[in-house]
């Protein structure tokens, strides 16, 4: 469903992403992990179109997207959340969701009940008329996920969705992701530093370090990789 081939991004003389290739199968939850500064968010920005690739190709469902603007990629089913929340603070919760839902209505045969089901599942029904800045942090995180889901994505990228959440909220987020993949099958790319969460949720992992691909494969294989242990797991920070 998602394929990166030799993707690089340079800022001046610095390569933030260097010749990265990996693929995500349909309906797969794929973890993208690595130390801070590894290039994970930059990679998500390249897939979503927030940044343009310097080299390489990106395909979604067999279609090349690396030359398309971000809004066209979104209409093709590429949705994402942000590490730092980017909600429309002057719009209600309902309007924030509708901004994305308006685009998905242009797609034939969409599931009209998906958003309403997600609003209930993610606990937003009682706050639809409030503005995001009146909500607790965890609820704002959930709102951003529902807004991305309103695009009826083929590929959903979540950038540290559990950041700032307590253990109970993290457990609920995990349950909601499991519900999501059953309710609306799509590929999920998950950036997260909570290794317990990553190991429980993901079928495959890709590890980045200093902009380059370090390892990719099954979680038990990747976490046993000596280079991964030295570069990431052995740092004692996570």
Instruction: Return the percentage of the chain with pLDDT > 70, whole number.
Output: 94
Residues 6+ apart with CB under 8 A from 213: 19, 20, 21, 22, 206, 207
Round to whole Å and give the CA distance between 208 and 177: 23
pLDDT digits (tens, 9 = 90+) for 2-51: 999 999 999 988 999 999 999 999 999 999 999 888 999 999 999 999 99
Answer for the pair 197, 162: CB distance below 8 angstroms, yes or no.
Answer: yes
Which burial class, exposed, middle or buried, applies to 232 when counting CB atoms under 10 A from its CB (0-12, 13-18, 19+)?
Answer: buried
Helices H / strands E in the chain, number of each: 9, 10
Answer for the pair 156, 149: CB distance below 8 angstroms, yes or no.
Answer: yes
pLDDT digits (tens, 9 = 90+) for 151-210: 999 999 999 999 888 889 899 999 999 999 889 989 999 999 888 899 999 999 999 999
Percent helix, strand, coil in the chain (nearest 5)? 40, 25, 35
Residues 6+ apart with CB under 8 A from 172: none
Domains of the chain and CATH, by start: 2-87+153-235 (3.40.50.300)
Total-model pTM:
0.91
Token pair, residue 66, equals 């690396």
CA 84 and chain centroid, separation? 13
Secondary structure (3-state) at 97: helix
Structure confidence at residue 107 (pLDDT): 56
Which H helix or E strand runs over 55?
strand 55-60
- Confidence category of residue 238, pLDDT binned at 50, 70, 90: very low
Token pair, residue 33, equals 């992990």
Round to whole Å and give the CA distance between 147 and 170: 19
Structure confidence at residue 108 (pLDDT): 52
């Amino acid at each position: 469903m998602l394929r990166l081939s030799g993707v690089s991004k340079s800022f001046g003389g610095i390569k933030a992403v260097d010749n990265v290739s990996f693929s995500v199968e349909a309906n797969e939850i794929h973890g993208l992990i690595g130390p801070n500064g590894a290039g994970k968010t930059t990679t998500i920005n390249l897939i979503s179109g927030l940044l343009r690739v310097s080299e390489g190709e990106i395909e979604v469902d067999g279609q090349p997207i690396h030359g398309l603007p971000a809004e066209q990629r979104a209409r093709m089913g590429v949705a994402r959340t942000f590490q730092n929340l980017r909600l429309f603070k002057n719009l209600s919760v309902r309007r924030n969701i509708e901004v994305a839902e308006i685009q998905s209505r242009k797609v034939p045969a969409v599931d009209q009940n998906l958003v309403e089901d997600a609003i209930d599942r993610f606990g937003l029904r009682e706050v639809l008329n409030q503005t995001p800045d009146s909500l607790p942090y965890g609820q704002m995180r959930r709102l951003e996920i529902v807004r991305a889901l309103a695009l009826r994505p083929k590929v959903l990228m979540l950038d540290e969705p559990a950041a700032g959440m307590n253990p109970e909220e993290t457990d609920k987020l995990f349950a909601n992701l499991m519900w999501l993949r059953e309710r609306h099958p799509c590929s999920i790319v998950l950036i997260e530093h909570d290794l317990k969460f990553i190991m429980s949720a993901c079928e495959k992992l890709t590890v980045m370090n200093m902009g380059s691909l370090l390892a990719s494969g099954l979680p038990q294989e990747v976490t046993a990789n000596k280079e991964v242990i030295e570069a990431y797991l052995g740092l004692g920070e996570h």
